[in-house]
Structure 1
């Protein structure tokens, strides 16, 4: 039976992934987050282990990863690069290879036009962390897939297209359910998209900024 660990498990997309996997698979889950009480709804589920911890505590993280088949990172913040260093080191210590990592549009200066200019300003404090994290992961020996979503919304829809690292980013927005769908495809087929950084967006959402802003 497959077992995965979700880092930053209280995140909105991570919770969609968790619920989908519990409902539609037999995969076992380790949910790693700062305050485990936030996910108390899973505490009596025999397929779930709640782990309260800090991603920056590399030793603790490595211990949590010991018996899993795949690591899915949903962490974020202005210190993302430091968190990424810890994740890579922990995976090395735990002899883990397969990583699914949520990054961001703009990680490669790949967003064109006025939307690209707007995005650079809108998430200016976060982009250095995404960019350094991308380089750290690419320079590692991990079997990674990075996911670069457009601006996320909570629409009840699965509707997305993909771009690759060397292609201009498309669109301005995407639903969290769409991102979760792509993550679950990777979890169920871990041999696909290895070594890729994949942009995700809803088709036909091009513009100067997301429609709701």
Structure 2
């Protein structure tokens, strides 16, 4: 396949890209604002690095040529605007499969004291995630899987469980390697979890806050 990673400098995005280079024959397009931020690993033969802003529609549409799947690792308080631009560019380029990095709380699904704490901790970002979810639901021609990971750790482990869009969120934390592993599963089989939103956490991490707080 040919896969475009938007926001390719993100920590999880880099884990995903490196695994795809090591374990597959897929062709990668790494789309980011500052290409100098990537290391030598991005100079692999099957990798094309495109420097640009998602809001630069012409640049993004060109980068999407012959792409089969997009993995969005975009973020920030302007996520809704970025998502709108990404969806429009995908429609223009005729790309119909999206894996979208969202966040816990995007569906108001985190219960109890942890849910209340999370609302305050990422209050500046949750409106963007929630608006992005609305935009995705209003764009059925783009088949999307949203990921809602718990608070992220850099632990060297792959250990996670999933919850559906209609289930209360479990756990408080999960490793970036775990999230990357789930993304790789979706990229290897894009038929999984279509038009769904999946929560990711490490089993046994339930609590009022992540363990390091």
TM-score (norm 2): 0.98
Give the aligned partner of residue 154 of structure 2.
154
Q: Could you tell me which residue of structure 1 aligns to residue 14 of structure 2? A: 15
Match of 2:99 in 1: 100
TM-superposed CA distance for 1:84, in Å, is: 0.2
Q: Counterparts of 1:49 and 1:66 in 2: how far apart (Å)?
A: 12
Question: What runs of 5+ residues in structure 1 fail to find an aligned partner?
Answer: none
Q: Is the 8 A contact 2:83 2:132 kept in 1?
A: yes
Q: Which runs of 4+ in 1 moved over 4 A?
A: none
Q: 1:112 to 1:71 in 2, by over 3 A?
A: same
Match of 1:48 in 2: 47
The farther-off stretch of 31-40 and 122-131 is 31-40
1:125 corresponds to: 124
Superposed CA deviations along residues 77-126 of structure 1, whole A, max 9, x for unmatched, are 00000000000000000001000000000001100000000000000000
SS of the aligned residue for 1:147 comes to: strand
Within 5 Å, which residues of 2 pair with 1:54-65? 54-65=53-64
Q: Is the 8 A contact 1:42 1:48 kept in 2?
A: no
Please, which runs of 5 or more residues in structure 2 have no aligned partner?
none
- How many residues were matched structurally? 212
